[in-house]
């Protein structure tokens, strides 16, 4: 490793080498020095927030030491590096995760594996908890001070967060690249039952987890024009792009600690800043105000995360974000590569870049531009390097989510890139024409440029496929679907081997150990794994199967669930303004039925709430017909129906679903006749830290998307990992969950994806009768049973089913949904032992869904990358 420090000075450096704290006392000393020096506070005004910051700074100090060593080690070994480009990283809180993952040993090199601090799974967290107590703080309260890093919308962003955790844990030399939004996903308030968005200014108090790299500033250009040497006609020749607007990308790094390893990887987030270059023409014109305003515009690029999940709006600022981030990241990657002075042809041996959806597709074009225009490589040599470097993950087949940029917009913002896209397309179409001569239809179908009447558009998914060596879907069904639908032609062109599947996963550190410490403890006791090694090898969980029918074990298992349900009941009470709606006395016999995820018609929260209405109406009918409440309870036992999730601010139907849930909640919860047998609650502002409370508390969770629409889903995995059962459609990763845990342990219902087209067609061209059960529900809704002011308020939800073709097939699946819910009630209330057995077996067989497995598959089948293990 090169250094500027002369040899004779290094001794001094080594003498004063910084050390990690490794005991509670050393931590306390660190903590106090951060209170005094970093925060400029003292014993006399150290509140919980200051304590959180001082704790985090102290922990960060330890991580930074390992972070530096990790980077040196990875550079020295010179293995292949992986870069994960994602516009979203939904990290949630960092402190508790760091306490779980962090190693406290002073130096990994000089501490053997027998050392206590190394082998005990929980040491550093326990140690700090005790030290905090001595200092006068409660760790649980301190952890609550941290705002979520909510730089993502939903599953796609959370997947990226789980991936960086697994990459570090697996010792892969891998960095994440993203944007440092000043505003993450909005905070959701519920006012009069409606979603109201408020800005998430998460950096209000300084963020102890980021390291500002003021020295790393990359100039990024937009607009302008292209210049070529005189007489040069070809756009394939090295060209000069003279940018018209320039901003700076400044790096902010977040340390990502692996679990039970001293590897600490990096998540680099870019922040947009104005340049200090001065526009003299403006100044001379006396237009000082305007030139300041233009500079302020720079910051707007990373101001806010676009709050749409599975939907693309096509806004210019979004494209600017994408290019800004791709260009800064590639500049950084290329700079690092060039330090080694290896030939360009070895670029793909040194670097793998994974594209998280099409959002970073401009990185493909930018690398081609760097190689051709700046490094003067021949076009085809450059393109060979590019395609060997990139791989693309598709996350959705939904038309409205597939990115397309108008040629006119892209050509204005990035004129040179537009030329390069045309040339990529030209060579691609030529190769297609050669293999499939005279198939004009095929050519127009696969062209990167969509020639629709009037406006030509760049199809980013096609560009991503053409510029990558591998394309993967995120669950088996989804990976099959993309091959037979949206990318069918490309399978014909490239062959099926270019397309592969890597089923999603989640990190068990956060979603089991951190979210559900009680269950983690029971597991480690039961399988005799005091050091929590199962969190690295989840196949160890199969040991639990032995105990699935053991009654005393089942009781312990159930006790953990009750504890977690009480924890959620407390949260719900707090969110409900201190009013308790859950009857704690009967909590053991109350089924917690949960659906938390982004609100989307395809995820069918409307079907869920219709099911709740159906249940309520049936209960009322029984009572009216003279049944006793005990008789009603016999058929409709105790249940709490819990919803949560954000709607995109402009998504009218999703917002209406939220309002309906809240309106139903008001009616049902206020109805004393049904005596607490049914409760409904919408949890406002669903986010990662709330998910950590919600997930462990579910008896049943709902994953009920229209078959073929949910690419994978990942919360399904989280619930199973926490011993919850699933009611779900044969969609996304539900398919593999069924395979892994067994079909006896999941409640599947509904039509299959292969029948969806025909069902939709039938809705369009034949008016089939809607099921009686659904009509009853819709009548009640239409007659204003849940409307407070405006009777026809929910009409659009009804109309979409009755009169607009029922695109999401609620009417086709409703009866089997209701029937399956009945079955759920029966098993939960009449066959509790069976239920608990299913729950245990689910956890026993959930191992496949660890994101560690998932990352290993990427490394082996797509990146060809190997771990760099600490000695
Ligand atoms: O099924 C989920 C999947 O589990 C899918 O809807 C989601 O990605 C998860 C992780 O693979 C997803 N999000 C988006 N597309 N698919 C998306 C699209 C545009 C903007 C933001 C998010």
862 Cα to the center of ligand 1, angstroms: 20
Q: Which one-letter DSSP state was computed for residue 264?
A: E
What spacing in Å lies between the alpha carbon of 309 and ligand 1's midpoint? 7
Q: pLDDT tens digits, residue range 85-110?
A: 999 999 999 999 999 998 765 344 43
SS3 850: strand
CA of 813 to the centre of ligand 1 (A): 23
Nearest-Å Rg of the Cα atoms of the chain is 28
Residue from 155, 357, 404, 648 to probe ligand 1 pocket by mutation (most atoms less than 8 Å from CB) = 155
CB 311 within 8 A of CB 400: yes
Cα separation, 686 vs 646, whole angstroms: 7
**What's the pLDDT tens digit per position in 157-172?**
999 999 999 999 999 9
Domains of the chain: 20-77+95-145 (no CATH), 151-424 (3.40.50.2000), 551-847 (3.40.50.2000)
Instruction: Write the residue with the smallest CA distance to atom 4 of ligand 1.
Output: 713
* Predicted confidence (pLDDT) per residue in 22-53, tens digit: 999 999 999 999 999 999 999 999 999 999 99
Q: Is 609 in the pocket of ligand 1 (CB under 6 A)?
A: no
Using one digit for the tens of pLDDT, what is the confidence trace for 200-222? Answer: 999 999 999 999 999 999 999 99
What is the pLDDT at residue 107? 40
Q: How far does Cα 355 stand from its chain's mean position?
A: 14
Contacts of 340 (CB under 8 A, 6+ apart): 78, 350
Q: Which secondary-structure segment (H or E) carries 659? A: helix 652-669
* Catalytic annotation, residues: 395, 597-598, 603, 714, 718
Helices 734-741 and 832-844: crossing angle in degrees, nearest 10, is 100
Residue 282 pLDDT exceeds 80: no
- Ligand 1: atom nearest CA of 504 is 11
Distance (angstroms) between ligand 1 centre and the Cα of 758 equals 25
pLDDT digits (tens, 9 = 90+) for 231-253: 999 999 999 999 999 999 999 99
* Contact indicator for 743, 845 with CB cutoff of 8 Å: no
Residue nearest to atom 21 of ligand 1 (CA): 309
Look at residue 104 in the predicted model and tell me its pLDDT. 62
Three state DSSP letters for 142-188: HHCCCCCEEECCCHHHHHHHHHHHHHHHCCCCEEEEEECCCECCCEE
Answer yes or no: is the C-beta of 307 below 6 A from any ligand 1 atom.
no
Q: Could you write out the DSSP letters of every residue in 706-767?
A: PTTT-S--SHHHHHHHTT-EEEEES-TTHHHHHHHH-GGGSEEES--GGGHHHHHHHHHHS-
Q: Is the CB of 712 under 6 A from ligand 1?
A: yes
pLDDT over 90 (residue 112): no
Ligand 1 center to 401 CA (angstroms): 9
- The whole-angstrom separation of Cα 448 and Cα 456 is 10
What confidence category does residue 293 fall into, taking pLDDT thresholds of 50, 70 and 90? confident
Would you say the CB of residue 477 lies under 6 angstroms from ligand 1?
no
What does the pLDDT look like over 467-492, one tens digit per residue? Answer: 999 999 999 999 999 999 999 999 99
Q: Are 311 and 648 in contact (CB under 8 A)?
A: yes
Give the residue-averaged pLDDT of 684-698: 99
Does the Cβ of 714 fall within 6 Å of ligand 1? yes
Q: Does residue 1 surpass a pLDDT of 90?
A: no
Buried/exposed 279-300: b ≥16 CB within 10 Å, e otherwise = eeeeeeeeeeeebeeebeebee
Q: How confident is the model over 350-368, as a mean pLDDT?
A: 99
310 lines ligand 1 (CB under 6 A): yes
Ligand 1 within 6 A of CB of 713: yes
Nearest CA to ligand 1 atom 18: 310
Q: What is the mean pLDDT of residues 627-632?
A: 98
* Secondary structure of 365-389 as H, E, C letters: HHHHHHHHHHCCCCHHHHHHHHHHH
- Segment 736-792, tens digit of pLDDT: 999 999 999 999 999 999 999 999 999 988 877 999 999 999 999 999 999 988 999
**Closest ligand 1 atom to 88 CA:** 21
Does the C-beta of 479 come closer than 6 Å to ligand 1?
A: no
What spacing in Å lies between the alpha carbon of 155 and ligand 1's midpoint?
6
How far is residue 703 from each of residues 227, 539, 709, 801, measured CA to CA in Å? 54, 25, 11, 20
- Average pLDDT of the chain is 96
Is the CB–ligand 1 distance for residue 401 below 6 Å? Answer: yes
Q: Is the pLDDT reported for residue 440 higher than 70? A: yes
Q: How far apart are CA 106 and CA 317, in angstroms?
A: 46
Distance from Cα 154 to the centre of ligand 1, integer Å: 7
Q: What span, in angstroms and rounded, lies between the C-alpha atoms of 92 and 185?
A: 11
Does the beta carbon of 162 sit less than 6 angstroms from any atom of ligand 1? no
Tokens found for residue 68: 């530096």
């Amino acid at each position: 490793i090169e250094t500027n420090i002369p040899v004779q000075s290094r001794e001094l450096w080594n003498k004063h080498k910084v050390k990690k704290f490794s005991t509670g006392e050393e931590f306390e000393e660190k903590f106090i020095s951060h209170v005094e020096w970093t925060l400029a506070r003292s014993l006399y005004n150290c509140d919980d927030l200051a304590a959180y910051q001082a704790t985090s700074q102290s922990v960060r100090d330890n991580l930074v030491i390992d972070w530096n060593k990790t980077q040196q080690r990875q550079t020295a070994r010179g293995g292949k590096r992986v870069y994960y480009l994602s516009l979203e990283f939904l990290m949630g809180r960092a402190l508790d995760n760091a306490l779980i993952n962090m190693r406290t040993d002073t130096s990994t090199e000089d501490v053997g594996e027998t050392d206590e601090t190394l082998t005990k799974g929980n040491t550093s967290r326990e140690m700090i908890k005790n030290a905090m107590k001595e200092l006068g703080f409660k760790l649980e309260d301190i952890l609550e001070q941290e705002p979520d890093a909510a730089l993502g919308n939903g599953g796609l962003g959370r997947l990226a967060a789980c991936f960086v955790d697994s990459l570090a844990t697996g010792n892969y030399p891998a960095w994440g690249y993203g944007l440092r939004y000043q505003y993450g996903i909005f905070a959701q308030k519920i006012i009069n039952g409606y979603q109201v968005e408020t800005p998430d200014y998460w950096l209000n108090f300084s963020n102890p987890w980021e390291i500002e790299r003021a020295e790393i500033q990359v100039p990024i250009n937009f607009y302008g024009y292209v210049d070529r040497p005189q007489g040069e006609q070809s756009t394939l020749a090295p060209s000069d792009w003279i940018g018209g607007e320039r901003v700076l990308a400044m790096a902010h790094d977040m340390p990502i600690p692996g679990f039970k390893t001293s590897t600490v990887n990096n998540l680099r987030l870019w922040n947009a800043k104005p340049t200090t270059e001065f526009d003299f023409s403006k100044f001379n014109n006396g237009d000082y105000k305007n030139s300041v305003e233009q500079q302020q515009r720079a910051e707007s690029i990373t101001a806010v995360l676009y709050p749409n999940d599975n939907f693309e709006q096509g806004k210019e600022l979004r494209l600017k974000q994408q290019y800004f981030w791709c260009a800064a990241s590639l500049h950084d990657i290329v700079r690092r590569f060039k330090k080694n002075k290896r030939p360009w042809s070895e670029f793909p041996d040194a670097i793998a870049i994974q594209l998280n959806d099409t959002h970073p597709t401009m990185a493909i074009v930018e690398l081609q531009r760097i190689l051709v225009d700046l490094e003067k490589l021949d076009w085809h040599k450059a393109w060979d390097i590019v395609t060997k470097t990139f791989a693309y993950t598709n996350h959705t087949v939904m038309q409205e989510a597939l990115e397309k940029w108008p040629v006119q917009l892209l050509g204005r913002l990035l004129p040179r890139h537009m030329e390069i896209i045309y040339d990529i397309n030209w060579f691609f179409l030529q190769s297609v024409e050669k293999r499939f001569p005279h198939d004009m239809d095929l050519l127009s179908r696969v062209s990167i440029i969509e020639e629709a009447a009037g406006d030509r558009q760049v199809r980013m998914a096609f560009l991503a496929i053409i510029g990558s060596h591998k394309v993967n879907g995120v669950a088996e069904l989804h990976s099959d679907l993309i091959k037979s639908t949206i990318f069918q032609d490309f399978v014909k062109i490239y062959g099926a081997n270019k397309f592969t599947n890597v089923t999603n996963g989640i990190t068990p550190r956060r979603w089991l150990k951190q979210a559900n410490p009680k269950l983690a403890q029971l597991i480690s006791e039961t399988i005799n794994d005091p050091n929590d090694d199962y969190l690295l090898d989840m196949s160890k969980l199969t040991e639990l199967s032995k105990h699935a029918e053991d009654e005393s074990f089942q009781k312990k298992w159930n006790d953990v669930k009750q504890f977690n349900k009480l924890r959620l009941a407390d949260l719900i009470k707090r969110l409900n303004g201190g009013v308790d709606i859950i009857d704690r006395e009967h909590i053991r016999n109350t089924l917690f039925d949960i659906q938390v995820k982004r609100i989307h018609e395809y995820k069918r929260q409307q079907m869920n709430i219709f099911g709740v209405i159906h249940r309520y109406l049936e209960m009322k009918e029984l009572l009216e017909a003279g049944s006793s409440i005990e008789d009603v309870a016999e058929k409709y036992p105790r249940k709490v129906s819990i919803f949560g999730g954000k709607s995109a601010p402009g998504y009218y139907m999703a917002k209406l679903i939220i309002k309906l849930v809240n309106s139903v909640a008001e009616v049902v919860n206020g109805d004393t006749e049904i005596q607490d047998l049914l409760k409904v609650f919408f949890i406002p502002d669903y986010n990662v830290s709330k998910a950590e409370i919600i997930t462990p508390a579910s008896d049943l969770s709902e994953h009920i998307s229209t078959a073929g629409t949910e690419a994978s889903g990942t919360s399904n995995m989280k619930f199973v990992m926490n011993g919850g059962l699933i009611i779900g459609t044969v969609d996304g990763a539900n398919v593999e969950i069924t395979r892994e845990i067994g079909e006896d342990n999941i409640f599947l219902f509904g039509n299959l994806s292969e029948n969806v087209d025909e069902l939709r067609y039938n809705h369009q061209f034949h008016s089939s009768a809607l099921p009686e059960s659904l009509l009853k529900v819709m009548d009640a809704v239409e007659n204003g049973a849940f409307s407070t002011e405006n009777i026809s308020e929910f009409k659009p939800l009804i109309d979409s089913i009755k009169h607009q073709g029922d695109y999401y097939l609620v009417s086709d699946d409703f009866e089997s949904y209701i029937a399956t819910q009945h079955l759920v009630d029966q098993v939960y209330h009449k066959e509790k032992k069976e239920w608990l057995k299913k729950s245990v077996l689910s956890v026993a067989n959930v191992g496949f869904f660890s994101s560690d497995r998932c990352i290993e598959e990427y490394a082996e089948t797509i990146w060809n990358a190997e771990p760099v293990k600490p000695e």
